[in-house]
Structure 1
Amino acid sequence: MRDSNRTWHFAARPDGEPTMDTFDLREGDVPDPQFGQLLVRVRYLSVDPYMRGRMRDSESYAEPWAVGDPLQGGVVGEVVASESDEYEAGDLVTGRGTWSDYTVLDADDAAPVDPDVADLPAYLGILGMPGRTAYFGLLNVGDPRPGDTVVVSGAAGAVGSTVGQIAGLNGCRVVGFAGSDEKTAWLTDDLGFDAAINYKTTDDYGAALDDAAPEGIDVYFDNVGGPITDAVFPKLNVDARVAVCGQIAHYNDESVPTGPRKLPQLIAPRAKVQGLLVSDYATRFGAAKAQLESWVASGDLQHRETVVEGLEHAPDAFLGLFSGENIGKQVVRVSE
């Protein structure tokens, strides 16, 4: 064990895109777990786009961080001290902790990790919050039916790549938007997407969709917003379903331009647009976990993680989300 604990704190609210001035690394004592708690040595921590919203001084579905707060997110690690009968030293667990070498978790909020099912980083991706988001967002909000065409933006990320594969398992034609040739090749060659569009090298998204989705679009899973979503709306079929999961194209905008009004394009297809918060399905997480683990174990679902080495580089990993550096889930390896 280290005899001290490094923790990243929220140093300043950013204007526009965060910079290294947003983060402050401090060193202190290793915390002591209290009754019902676990001291966990962090192996991997998660960085996620929604964290940008917690940096704003405004109400949202995720409580904003106060300046000076420790940064928080999903972690996977090893119990080194337990004040709970549920776990003992040496157990591997996942939960919501701090960006630290060591973090304290409430035992009731932790979940066991089985390295025989998947490597530890997968429990922050396909077997964690992003996987559950994809599962409920597609199956409950998107309501895919065999023969549907499903379009996914941000398709090479942790959520989007899982959405596309589950859609394929449900007999759908799957089209993904991603930001490099390497990513689009991964979608079609490894994950079974029927078509993939590199939005950075495509001038006309509408024409690309005409080629990739000639029968129109029945389900749109939106992780991005912006011009991609603008191009999708005119292609929606009657009774189309739109699941709005994220809008990463706008997360660093200080003001979002109104632009052309898009709602009239929903009238003729009688399309349904619904926002998505995975926390709404908390009572069903156990069933989702079991199904996702089964699909991963059988090889029906593939996953990939982009691993950034070292706690000291956690801010770089977070900032890389907005330039599209990651393929699959972006995680930070804190310790071996």
Structure 2
Amino acid sequence: MLQFLGIRVVRALITMSIVLVIAFLTVRYSGEPFDAMYPEGIPPEMEEALREEWNLNLPIWDQFSLYIGNMLRGDFGRSIFTNEEAWRMYAERMPATLAVGGLAFLLAVMIGIPMGAFAALHRESAAARGVMWIAFLGYAVPHFVLGIGLVLLFGFHWKLLPTSGLSTPWHYILPVVTLAIPMIAAIARFMRVAMLDAVAQAHVGTAQAKGLTDGGIARWHILRNAMVPLLTVLGLEVAGLMNGSIFVEAVFSLPGVGRVLVNAVLDRDFAVLQFGVLAYAAIIVLITLMIDILYAVADPRVRLEA
């Protein structure tokens, strides 16, 4: 187990190192922030002074060395536009993102797993086929299209729900549903496949031969075995949740980290953008590592194969 953990941790560190280098170089070569700060042009002497103030006059690898040194001391840089610490800009807005994303994930799990189980256990019925068609449509529609459609219907046409901000519990409904629907569809589809694979295993037939009830077989053999591979898709959906939150926060004008990242991209705010990319990558890598560990605990064969 320790060897398995060691290999996974080393892979995670290598991944983060690659992301760090690529993010730094991509941001630096995408243009300078002063173009966004002064769209009508900037005097050469002012530009030179700003470049010197933010160390942009140094060679690229000197900038990288300085960035790494500051980062190891806990200094992730400041916004060129507001002079606010990059990490603080995300930390102040993280609660909104976690609240919406967490509620969406819980809703997706509570609905998606029963949907997939129903479609697998009653796969020949018209209701099960209808459930999977709904899941297919939910998975096919992008977050921003779904969000805009819900805003137009429930916000402007029927005027039932608020469409921006998070000032009351009612404000959470549309963004949470927008994030949850594609996840519900993905979890339901995967759960159905996993349960059908579990049904085909030999020990299920043995349990039937022993006279176990259909409910007992479904609970203790089929559902239990299907939950192990489901861990992988749940981890992927959490990672996808981070990406979907960017679009959802833009559509519903939510005060979350997605808006900070989008603004940093548009403004070429180097420190804020770099920290956002690293934070997103770290969360995804950490989730993947946790899923690998849970998978290894649930199925010891994974450790042997690793």
TM-score of the superposed pair, with normalisation by structure 2: 0.24
> Which structure's residues are more often strand, by fraction?
1
Query: Which has the higher relative contact order, 1 or 2, with Cα contacts under 8 A spaced 6 or more apart?
Result: 2
Structure exhibiting the larger radius of gyration computed from Cα positions: 2
